[in-house]
Amino acid sequence: MCRMVDVLHLPIACNSGIPGYRGRNGLWRRDPEAEKLVTYEYYMGDPEIQRRSWQMRGKNRTLMARPNAAHRAVAELARSGTPVRVVTQNVDGLHQRAGLPDRKVLELHGSSRTAVCTACPWRGPMAQTLARVADGEPDPPCRECGGILKSATVMFGQPLDPEVLATAVAVAEAAEVFLAVGSSLQVQPAASLAGRAAAAGARLIVVNAEPTPYDHLAAEVVREPISEALPPLLARLARP
């Protein structure tokens, strides 16, 4: 029988050309004011912040990004018949673009590929709203109710979706193998999933360039680049 690799915790988008926020060349290092653009209180209270946020989204490369070798390896593992669930802090949708069904991906921080209204239930493709911005609407309102639109991502000051988080915890605690990939494992509550999985008996494998607070619980620690390390690692796990 194949091992049950139920959870993969994968913030690996930088390998697909999507820049980070806090890193050496991250957006917030280059523009400290940019953090306000993704802070709910500032966003909802300042139309100028809303306008700047839409300009930033229009220039963001996320919608143009393509899955890399690591994303494709995860999808291939699922196609091999191994039970796979992905829990990710990324908002880029690259796991789905690589071939994983939506039901197998838990997006803790939401999705940048969708726009939502903050006043009514409307939601739709981000590309359509960005087209309105490109056509001259600097801060497009909801066409259903006139409310403020935003990306369907969790901003600073917003709670995680409790149902998504509860499902992520349940999946972690049921895992036979838990891979924590490309994460510092310092941002809670997502980071605690690695500890929960290990405490419940999962084989914890950490793939990250730098040490993490959960390395001592890991059965295996890999320091190689993610796009190089993950394909052979997952191929090994898929073997009977």
Active site residue 109: yes
Say how many C-beta atoms besides its own lie within 10 A of residue 105's C-beta: 21
Q: Alpha-carbon distance 7 to 175, whole Å?
A: 6
Reference 148, options 109, 113, 115; nearest CA is 115
Q: Residue 120 in contact with residue 141, Cβ under 8 Å?
A: no
Which entry of 9, 71, 95, 109 is annotated as an active-site residue? 109
Q: If DSSP states are collapsed to H, E and C, what string results for the chain?
A: CCCCEEEEECCCHHHHCCCCCCCCCCHHHHCHHHHHHHEHHHHHHCHHHHHHHHHHHHHCCHHHCCCCHHHHHHHHHHHCCCCEEEEECCCCCHHHHCCCCHHHEEECCEEEEEEEECCCCCEEEHHHHHHHHHCCCCCCECCCCCCEEEEEECCECCCCCHHHHHHHHHHHHHCCEEEEECCCCCCCCCCHHHHHHHHCCCEEEEECCCCCCCHHHCCEEECCCHHHHHHHHHHHHHCC
Show the tokens assigned to 139: 């801060």
Question: Which residues form the catalytic set?
Answer: 109
